[in-house]
Chain A
Amino acid sequence: MTDDWRLGGFGLYVHWPFCQAKCPYCDFNSHVTARIDQVRWRNALLSELDRVAAQTPDRLLNSIFFGGGTPSLMEPETVAEIIERACQHWTPANDIEITLEANPGSVEAGRFQGYRDGGVNRVSMGVQALNDADLRRLGRLHTVAEAQAAFDVARACFDRVSFDLIYARQDQSLAEWRTELGTALDMAIDHLSLYQLTIEDGTAFGDRFAAGKLRGLPDDDLSADMYELTQELCEARGLPMYEVSNHARPGAESRHNLIYWQAGDYVGIGPGAHGRVTINGKRFATESTRAPGAWLAGVDAGSGETLRTQLSGLERAEEYLMMGLRLRRGLDVSRYETLAGQPLPEQPRKKLVDLGMINDTGSEIVVQKQGFMVLNAVISEFLAS
């Protein structure tokens, strides 16, 4: 149990909290600011990296992920230095995956070569929609043409390029989504993230929704139809889902995200970054200060971390269940039971099998197609008992 994290691997997450504009649907820790002192930020991130690395020596590093915010606003030198320092602290795996999230704008495209030279080997682009009107509604600054141009630059620089789309948008019909997804699949190389629009509290969309002013959102039935259609089309084009919202050619799954879903260890640096680290057999959940200024001040004073909670065996098991059931490959029952120190409850297993939501082989719980659509309810069945 002490080395359980090895089953999921080990990764580094770097959070860059700045954006050129705040998107109305986004509830990530992102901020818009006039000027960024790149040198100060670089030094602060490196200092945090040194701090967390000292607590997790002798690890094999499977992945680095630059997320945000908009990490493609980072100077390539900053990215390169962080990668270099990480590879000094830990041994990089032979197949290490180093991903950077990028906005599909022309400015970013100009930096792609620099990121590649610094060690980035995969980009994930926030294309979001293939329709200019909807891009504006989503508050995006780029156009479809710019996104496609940036995408072409990216695929010239990197072997692995993924992009995100948001669907189940306002006033989107099933037929429109079919067409748009078809175009996306024509572009796709080996990986696609397809998210249904979620209205989060504390966002501009959230406020508008609460005021009853966000019209044209699909009802449950339409969004369920869209989800089903998405699975069908992606499967047919060789990009089957491997996680609720993620699709890849076999072997091209995001290694970094698999660390999360398989309950591996990850250190998180940067404002608001979370981590899960196993130290001397105990697993901790860590959180960093969210506000960029306060985080910098914290780092200057020795640490950007604000919270470190030890997780009990059952909590670890429940996290593994919550995350693991999102994967098509399913949940390893004996791993759950080792962590929890108790058997996976029989009653929800039986009920969910009867309802056709899961397949239970005894050693594995594999969520079925209709189970993925109501995964929160499936997970609740396990957690409630």
Chain B
Amino acid sequence: MTPLSHIRNFSIVAHIDHGKSTLADRLIQETNTVSLREMKEQMLDSMDIERERGITIKAQTVRINYTADNGEDYVLNLIDTPGHVDFAYEVSRSMRAVEGSLLVVDSTQGVEAQTLANVYQAIDADHEIVPVLNKIDLPATDCDRVAEQIEDVIGIDASGAIRVSAKTGVGIHETLEAIVHHLPAPKGDRDAPLKAMLVDSWYDSYLGVIVLVRIMDGVLKKGDRVRMMQNGSVHHVDRIGVFRPAMTTVDELGPGEIGFLTASIKQVRDTRVGDTITHEKNGCAKALPGFKPAQPVVFCGLFPVDSAEFEDLRDAIEKLALNDASFSFEMETSAALGFGFRCGFLGLLHLEVVRDRIEREYDIDLITTAPSVVYHVYMRDGEMTELHNPADMPDLTHVDHLEEPRIKATILVPDDYLGDVLKLCQDRRGIQLDLTYAGSRAMVVYDLPLNEVVFDFYDRLKSVTKGYASFDYQLTEYRQDNLVKMSILVNDEPVDALSMMVHRDRAEARGRAMVEKLKDLIPRHMFKIPIQAAIGGKVIARETLSAMRKDVTAKCYGGDATRKKKLLEKQKKGKKRMRQFGKVDIPQEAFISALKMDS
């Protein structure tokens, strides 16, 4: 067991693409934690999707042994946290398990909105913070300006910021030294009753649920009987260990250490993140303050394109949910799409990640319906119900009013693009709360309805600012507004999966955009197809998809029979990715693409 004075626990705070994963890779490499042979890019991003998108979704942890210049051996525990706003809750709880943070800022870019949000969480958790200026190998590097910006915007001393190129390895040694000398050692009492924080947990098909813990006081040993203080359940610890980053078993974990335990726990849901783990006998008296569980804020329907795959989809969703307690689901039936699931997510990225995993890992083609936020519907009798699905909107005669979730959004943007950003926020029913400058970058704070943000706000923001803006948000409150349900009719038949809640003032514009989009997304048929948007019985927008005029193979002779058959078979397969509504085939992409707005 390592003495407390020789342990350092830290996380890395950074904006996407500022080089957090590369820096983590270098720290692992420099200390020979992983042999060169085993090293792969972005060691800690273990899912394919994480590597592909260059994002970290689940918190990952690694234990690094480091012999400092003073000759002493240290144990450094890094918890790598997700950078995306959808996973902010993962960040906050990981922060509680460590004492310090490296604040990594791209020296060619400067501070971004997510850096801000995460660094404030680190400050809230009383972290010691070591600023690191990365990418100094690039020609556009400007360390002095970025250091000044860190002091201006965040308000911490950046004079001693370490200048690093995670790519070339410059400054990595200095970073390790700074971790040892500038970050505090953890506190804890080895002789006190066991008090361990449940930082995270996930499901492994061989070992069952793996629980990531930070020991605050006491000692955890293999074979111990432990109690989860919140739900009182008792488990027999059958394995404890640390991550290097591969799982390595150890005999015990003492105060200040971070590691894992397994205890034949079957479901992630049985372990509550933020819970306190203690011994069954002689346990600690007072639990650690827990975390608020993450609440899904975006809901959508997931339906199999081929209705015969419903059971496969159920299986896939249940398996994914084993490992992701923040994702909720319940069965849903749609008149148009048949059986599927209404699923809740932390945000749109979370939604896309889950959808991609189902399509890729389980090979099921999905129809994703319009994402929706949770509305509060107040009935005339005073009762309030939560509305997760526009199709469930109750009869208007019984409804008194609706409330929608609002957010506080922080956007950092070079002032060249400020006008576009303000227009975008204004168009999305935003109310400006603040506008300040730090150098040539503006920081704008907006009060926005979540439903205007949930779908494509981030994409639009990136496109109007050529990728230079960064964005973060937090939910604030529910507020009453004039909201209505808009239905879409294709060939005079309502397609429930396309119905959505909109603000009354924006309904016409939204409806027009939707029907125009659908006109492009639905292939021409042999007959003309009216596409309409309606509120109640009133049509507010209409387009007509004209009939297909020409689709015939000009030449078809002896050798072409085989070829043409192949072509038609391909077409037939293409049809499988469509759903039939009355006489009309609608491609599955239409359900999500129809909602993307171009302005």
Contact = CB atoms under 8 A, between A and B. Distances in A.
A220 interface: yes
A224 B561 contact: no
B576 to A, nearest CB: 10
A99 B552 CA distance: 26
A275 interface: yes
B564 interface: yes
A191 interface: no
A276 B568 CA distance: 19
B561 to A, nearest CB: 5
B397 interface: no
B572 A268 contact: no
B527 A355 contact: yes
B558 A377 contact: no
Contacts of B575: 380, 384
Contacts of A357: 526
B553 A355 contact: no
Interface in B510-527: 525-527
A372 B548 CA distance: 12
B561 A276 contact: yes
A13 B558 contact: yes
A204 B320 CA distance: 48
A273 to B, nearest CB: 7
Contact of A322 (B527, B557, B568): B568
A326 B556 CA distance: 9
Interface in A173-213: 195-198
B231 interface: no
Contacts of A244: 552-554, 556
Given A224-B550, A266-B558, A322-B565, 6 more contacts: A220-B549, A221-B549, A276-B558, A285-B561, A375-B552, A384-B572
B537 interface: no
A379 B554 contact: no
B562 A373 contact: no
Interface residues of B, number: 24
Nearest to A65: B558
A227 B25 CA distance: 64
Nearest to A11: B558
B571 interface: yes
Contacts of B551: 373-377
A15 to B, nearest CB: 9
B562 A355 contact: no
A260 B562 contact: no
Contacts of A245: 554-555
Contacts of A351: 583
A319 B569 CA distance: 12
A323 interface: yes
A287 interface: yes
B525 to A, nearest CB: 8
B559 interface: yes
Interface in A316-340: 318-319, 322-323, 326
A161 B69 CA distance: 95
A272 B559 CA distance: 8
- In the A-B complex, the 5 residue pairs with the smallest Cβ-Cβ separation, listed nearest first, are A224-B549, A274-B559, A375-B552, A224-B550, A195-B554
A198 B553 CA distance: 8
B557 A380 contact: no
B559 A268 contact: yes
Contact of A376 (B553, B562, B565, B583): B553
Secondary structure at the B interface, as helix, strand, loop or mixed, is loop
Contact of A380 (B555, B561, B572): B572
A90 to B, nearest CB: 17
A380 B523 CA distance: 14
A383 interface: yes
Interface string A238-249: 000000110000
A319 B565 contact: yes
Most buried by A among B527, B552, B561: B552
Contact of B526 (A220, A224, A377): A377
A261 B571 CA distance: 21
Contacts of B558: 13, 260, 266, 268, 273-276
20 contacts: A13-B558, A197-B554, A198-B554, A220-B548, A244-B552, A244-B554, A245-B555, A274-B562, A276-B561, A322-B561, A326-B556, A373-B549, A374-B526, A374-B550, A374-B551, A374-B552, A375-B551, A380-B571, A380-B572, A384-B575
A374 B552 CA distance: 5
Nearest to B553: A376
Contacts of B552: 244, 372-376
A300 to B, nearest CB: 23
B268 to A, nearest CB: 43
Given A355-B526, A377-B526, A380-B572, A323 B550 contact: no
A257 interface: yes
Contacts of B549: 220-221, 224, 373-374
B561 A273 contact: no
A70 interface: no
A323 B565 CA distance: 10
A323 B527 CA distance: 24
A224 B568 CA distance: 21
Most buried by B among A220, A275, A326: A220
A278 interface: no
A310 B24 CA distance: 60
Interface in B567-599: 568, 571-572, 575, 583
A224 B547 CA distance: 12
A143 interface: no
Contacts of B568: 322, 376, 379-380, 383
Contacts of B583: 351
A223 interface: yes
Contacts of A273: 558-559
Contacts of A197: 554
Contacts of A375: 551-553
Interface in A341-385: 351, 355, 357, 372-380, 383-384
A373 B550 contact: yes
Nearest to B550: A224
Nearest to B583: A351
A276 B559 CA distance: 10
A3 B494 CA distance: 51
Contacts of A13: 558
A318 B564 CA distance: 11
B559 A196 contact: no
Nearest to A323: B561
Contacts of A377: 525-526, 548, 551
B562 A198 contact: no
Interface string A244-274: 1100000000000100110000101000111
Nearest to A319: B561
Contacts of A220: 548-550
A285 B566 CA distance: 14
A223 B550 contact: yes
B550 A322 contact: no
Contacts of A326: 556
Contacts of A221: 549
B548 to A, nearest CB: 5
